[in-house]
Amino acid sequence: MPETLTVDELLALYRTIKTIRTVENSLTRLFADGEVPGFIHLSVGQEAIAAGICSALGDHDTLATTHRGHGHVLARGLSLPHFFKEVMGKAGGVCGGRGGSMHVADMEIGILGANGIVAAGIPIAMGSAVAHQTRKTGGIAVAFFGDGAMAEGVLHETLNMAALWKLPLLLVCENNGWSEFSPTSQQFAGTLKGLAAAFKISHQQLDGNDVSDVALATRKAVASLRKGKGPLILECVTKRVRGHYEGDPQKYRDADDLASLEAVDPVARTQVLLQEAGATKEQVDQVDQEVEADVDAAIAQAREDSEPTYESARQDVYTLNI
């Protein structure tokens, strides 16, 4: 009999998905109002991947993410106040306001960092996998990357080393069909399945907007990795709702493509899963209300937080030769 998720498990996953969606929608407004410095890249439509993958991770596991990494760090457990303060450049942010949207990190909960360079988090995660293996921590490392990274040589090098050393490395591709402003088919001549086969690495393609599919597949992958059976690839097919960056008008996208996004929305699809599992409307509404309140409170805290001082901004950047 196939494994299924309980109502409580689905409710927990839905809370994560709804939190990410509410945060990202809030950032849209905050960015438009000038309260978020720099660029932001939103993960609207891809929330089920972050929720499903991170639900299977343990306390000692680590992850490295991308420029579109808000969902991953929130699903991993980064607190909302620390997150908003960081993205809004406040002193109380998890990185003191110096990392911002594209460089959120929290070593205390295994977040090795988001990264503004395409594919740059992949070898960082591999290094963490080497550390887990060497130290016998029992932990695994996760590398999130987009399909735009498939043409990057550092991914190929990582696959080679991870396969040779049987590293506890889970490579998660969020395949949303786009590499910045171009279809992935115009950026990479092969397939991730074919690339995995070249290095004899197990590859599985998932419906990235079905949180149950992602969560259950990740449980099995993590169990295999903890047994020392070597790296695995999960390719999660999804849709990018917002543009490459916030403010991108997406004139390069077909109108039919944009119109079809609602049909695969992970928030609505998880609500259907909850209904089929026996959850009540009151349970779902309660999650929605609690998430909205938590996000509003975190934004209010961030707005009240102080700006970083010049002295704090210089810390860990320069050293004095004495």
183-216 pLDDT, tens digit each = 677 677 688 999 999 999 999 999 999 999 999 9
Q: Which two tokens stand for residue 98?
A: 């110096």
Question: 26-35, 216-225, 244-253, 283-292: which has the minimum mean pLDDT?
Answer: 244-253
Q: What is the percentage of the chain residues whose pLDDT exceeds 70? A: 93
Residue, of 278 and 250, whose pLDDT is higher = 278
What is the rounded average pLDDT of the residues 288-296? 98
Least confident of 134-143, 241-250, 296-305: 241-250
Provide CB contacts within 8 A for 16, sequence distance 6+: 47, 50, 51, 54, 55, 74, 75
Q: What pLDDT is stored for residue 248 in this prediction?
A: 64
Structure tokens at 152: 């990057």
pLDDT higher at 316 or 283 = 283
**Between 308 and 229, where is the model more confident?**
229
- Do the bridges between strand 169-175 and strand 178-179 make them parallel or antiparallel, or are there none, so unpaired? unpaired
Domains of the chain, first to last: 7-306 (3.40.50.970)
Residue 312 pLDDT class (50, 70, 90 cuts): confident
Contact 126, 167 (CB under 8 A): yes
Q: What is the pLDDT of residue 181?
A: 61
- In this prediction, residue 251 carries a pLDDT of 75
CA distances from 134 to 26, 78, 167 (A): 42, 27, 10
For residues 58-74, one letter each, b for 16 or more C-beta atoms within 10 angstroms of the residue's C-beta and e for the rest, the string is eeebbbbbbbbbbbbbb
Confidence of residue 262 (pLDDT cuts 50, 70, 90): confident
The single-letter code of the amino acid at 268 is A
Tens-place pLDDT, residues 147-177: 888 888 999 999 999 999 999 999 999 998 7
Q: How confident is the model at residue 76 (pLDDT cuts 50, 70, 90)?
A: very high
- CA dist., res. 70 & res. 177, Å (int): 19
Q: What pLDDT does residue 246 have?
A: 74
What is the average per-residue pLDDT within 60-75? 96
